[in-house]
Amino acid sequence: MPLADPMLAILEDIARRLSGQNISWRVGGSAAAAYHGADLLPDDLDIFAGEADAGRIAELLGGRPPERFRSPQLVSIRTVARIGGITVDAICGLSASRPGLPDPAPLGEPPEILPHQPFRSSASGLPMMGVSALSRLYRALGREDRIAQILAAAPISEALGRPPCLGVDVGGVLCRLHLKEGRLPATPEGGAAALVAMPDVHVVMHTVLKPFFGDRIHIISKAEPAVRPLIAAWLWQSGLAEAIGLVPERVHFTETLAEKAVIARQLGLTHMIDDRFEVLARMPFLQLAVLFADPGLPPPTAPGIAVNIRHAGSWPEAAGLVAMDDGGAGDAT
């Protein structure tokens, strides 16, 4: 739901105090989630900044001296202030508490600067944390429910004058294959049991992507003939086909990676999610291509990379990229 006074007035006050101080900061937490459409009524404010700025922020906001804070998942330096009767928690240098845990990276992408009504500051505008960054933050906190709220409410725009149409790869995107002794099971049913769904794939596909793309979701997989029955069986046995209203006619198998681009153009895809860069690089006609890769890998930065390719390390993050897309790049051919 939209933010209301006194929250907006306090956020504008914070923006004025921090303006011109060379401090990179974001509005996060429930206030940013409410801005993106989550049905929340924030009763406090969270802002995020770098560790080196903790002392300066405490001084500018009139907060308590910064203190180190550690939870099982996260570490940070925090200062708490009271402004207009509202608690403002400045969380600085937030990171995972140990290797292997999800990294929230609250400053890892540009903020959504909102200088217009109703989010306006006479000083600098309000740097709201975007959907993708909020997804990372709440994943690090273990708040999958909050991720679902945000993604379900985020607006998704139509692209290139075409109905939105999504293609999704299978291996490494929808699921992973775990074989015993490196051998394929003898039956499709046994093979389906060897495929393990990616975290969050069912809920994100059902609650976020299905309502937008409708019956325009296609499965496009390069798979050997022996593996195809296993994949088809898994799609239905796992419940994914039912979750997205999939029919067999929208399951496409190819012999080569290059064929994926041919099928994508024939189907009129506007969006594609795949774990192979070389596949997405062949699809400049897409509004948005999501490279689904390990969250520890950096976004692709190779020379000549297509501008419509974005990196996601999880299904909530992938859906967040789709939700934030505003028309993107692509050709009109």
Q: Tell me what the mean pLDDT of segment 63-84 comes to.
A: 93
Contact of 272 with 264, CB cutoff 8 Å: yes
Q: How confident is the model at residue 116 (pLDDT cuts 50, 70, 90)?
A: very low
Quick one: how far is CA 318 from the chain centroid? Answer: 4
Vertex 242 angle, CA 237 and 248, to 5°: 80
DSSP, res 243:
H
Question: Which residues are CB-contacts of 153 (< 8 A; sequence separation ≥ 6)?
Answer: 36, 37, 38, 39
Q: Are 170 and 192 in contact (CB under 8 A)?
A: no
d(CA 318, CA 258): 23
Give the gyration radius of the chain's Cα atoms: 22
What is the DSSP annotation of 29-82? Answer: HHHHHHHTT-S---SSEEEEE-GGGHHHHHHHHT-PPPEEEE-SSEEEEEEEEE
Query: Among 240, 216, 224, 237, which residue's Cα sits nearest to residue 315?
Result: 240
Rounded to whole angstroms, the Cα distance separating 159 from 151 reads: 19
User: What is the pLDDT at residue 111?
Assistant: 56
Residue 62 pLDDT: 95
49 has which bridge partners?
25, 92
pTM: 0.51
Backbone angles phi, psi at 306, to 5 degrees: -65, 135
**CA–CA gap between residue 187 and residue 272 (Å, rounded):** 30
Report d(CA 143, CA 161) in Å as an integer: 36
Nearest to 250 by CA among 238, 235, 239: 235
Whether a cis peptide bond, with omega within 30° of 0, leads into 6 is yes
Contact 235, 241 (CB under 8 A): yes
Give CA–CA dist 20/12, Å, rounded: 14
What phi, psi does 86 have (nearest 5°)?
Answer: -110, 140
Q: Can you tell me the mean pLDDT for 158-162?
A: 46
Q: Which is more confidently placed, 258 or 109? A: 258
Percent of the chain with pLDDT over 90: 33
Give tens-digit pLDDT for 266-301: 898 989 999 998 888 778 778 888 999 865 555 554
**Whole-number pLDDT of residue 306:** 44
Interval 311-331: pLDDT, tens: 888 999 898 888 766 443 333
Q: How far apart are CA 161 and CA 262, in angstroms?
A: 20
